[in-house]
Structure 1
Amino acid sequence: MISELANKIFNQAITDYHQFDNIDQPVNNPYEKDSLTHLLYLKNWIDTAQWHMEDVVRNPTIDPVEGLKWKRRIDTQNQVRTDMVEFVDSYFLDIYKHIQANADAKINTESPAWAIDRLSILALKIYHMQEEAERETASEEHRLQCLTKLNVLLAQRDDLSLSIDELLADIEAGKKYMKVYKQMKMYNDPSLNPVLYNTTK
């Protein structure tokens, strides 16, 4: 099952990242290049680094100039993350290119890679919520609240994992078909963001 593989690799990437806990730590991807496992590991590493960028920029005492630098870095990282999701979808499109969809096949609300993207973020939520549920410096009330939230997240992971596996099985069986739309983000494009193109005149 793809979800079982993805969850295992996401947990591995998160654990590997937190050995250093350094946003700029170079990625040491243990999987063969161009393999799905390589893509999944890299995808989650990108998400994990961005998770910690988001933590940094929310520091209420951060210098505004420094905060703006981080915001722009997060914008760039968002584009990297989007490109990575689309790359994973390209992998699935290639895998299923020979599948003949049934005449009554339906399209899913999201592509496989965007569902896997949610699973990657969920792995990060679970990791950090578990940290909070076990944090000795926190109050017992805080830990119990976080434990309750952790249990919800774990159930959500089970449900999402099953949904991803069912989606891929339906695509393989011709019951559903993939249709991928590029995200076409506009805010980083100087030809599409009016604030950017008006400043270049």
Structure 2
Amino acid sequence: MTDTPLPRAAEVIAAHDAALLGPALAPEADDLRGWIAVNHFHNRSLWAQEDLARRTRAPDAEIVANKRAIDRHNQARNDAIERIDEFLLAALGLVDPATLASALPRSTVAAGARLNSETAGSMLDRISILGLKIAAMHEQAQRQDVDEAHRQSCGERLQRLQQQRADLGACFDELLADAAAGRAYFKVYRQFKMYNDPRLNPALVAEAR
């Protein structure tokens, strides 16, 4: 393992919640926590663009702009997940550093460790999205322009979302603890998004001919 301190779920959740209290500013990333912040920023931006893209009275050009922004943020979100996994695997000593940024990072896991089907970065991504859902549902539960039944329903959903985030955070901490102890591991799973690549999207290839 390297000297990079591993994040705990509670630390990440606190950072996610704090970021939502201010404006959505794109963070700089050159370390693990920076990439966690980048992932959260793009999830937050995706959330806003998804809302706007569902407007029914906006001009078509605005909806197209929203859809293209969604593509950009989704690509950046997935790129950040991969970078998070790279940093975590390096910190845990579970990958050959020389192959880390390649399409096929070479695992250095000891025999007998179980492979976790979900990566740690993907778990943090889900925790980020749950944070957005919790913030939005909290607003709904506090609305004064709706009836009590609406507030109560949203309050119940809020409790369930908070439980889901706590459960996922505990699973994240357990995975990192097991990985550090040699009992479990995960890999960098490359998304290879084809629709944004003009070399791989058939429609874009045909358009360029």
Q: Give the TM-score normalised by structure 1.
A: 0.88
CA contact (8 A) 2:115 2:186 kept: yes
CA-CA distance at 1:102 after TM superposition: 4.0
Q: In the alignment, which of 41, 62, 87 is matched to residue 37 of structure 2?
A: 41
CA-CA distance at 1:28 after TM superposition: 5.9
Identical counterparts, % of pairs: 36
SS state at 1:9 partner = helix
Aligned counterparts of 2:148 and 2:126: Cα–Cα separation in 1: 30
Q: In the alignment, which of 146, 149, 152 is matched to residue 138 of structure 1?
A: 146
Aligned counterparts of 1:124 and 1:160: Cα–Cα separation in 2: 15
CA-CA distance at 1:43 after TM superposition: 2.1
CA contact (8 A) 2:94 2:109 kept: no
* One-letter amino acid matched to 2:45: A
* One-letter amino acid matched to 1:8: A
- Indicate the residue corresponding to 1:73 in structure 2: 69
Instruction: Check 1:28–1:78 CA distance in 2 against 1; reply closer, same or farther (3 A cut).
Output: closer
Aligned counterparts of 2:94 and 2:73: Cα–Cα separation in 1: 33
Q: In the alignment, which of 48, 57, 64 is matched to residue 61 of structure 1?
A: 57
Matched, 1:97 2:96: no
Q: Give the TM-score normalised by structure 2.
A: 0.85
- Indicate the residue corresponding to 2:26 in structure 1: 27
* CA deviation vs aligned residue, 1:10-63 (integer Å, no higher than 9, x gap): 00111123xxxxxxx54367xxx6343333223212211221111111111111
* One-letter amino acid matched to 1:9: A
Aligned counterparts of 1:117 and 1:98: Cα–Cα separation in 2: 21
Instruction: Check 1:98–1:89 CA distance in 2 against 1; reply closer, same or farther (3 A cut).
Output: closer
Superposition CA RMSD, Å: 1.8
Runs of 4+ in 1 over 6 A off after TM superposition: none
CA contact (8 A) 2:25 2:41 kept: no
Instruction: Check 1:175–1:126 CA distance in 2 against 1; reply closer, same or farther (3 A cut).
Output: same
* CA deviation vs aligned residue, 1:70-109 (integer Å, no higher than 9, x gap): 1011101111111111111111011012686442111111
Instruction: Check 1:147–1:34 CA distance in 2 against 1; reply closer, same or farther (3 A cut).
Output: same
Q: What pairs up with 1:1-201 in 2 under 5 angstroms?
A: 2-17=8-23, 26-27=25-26, 34-97=30-93, 101-201=109-209
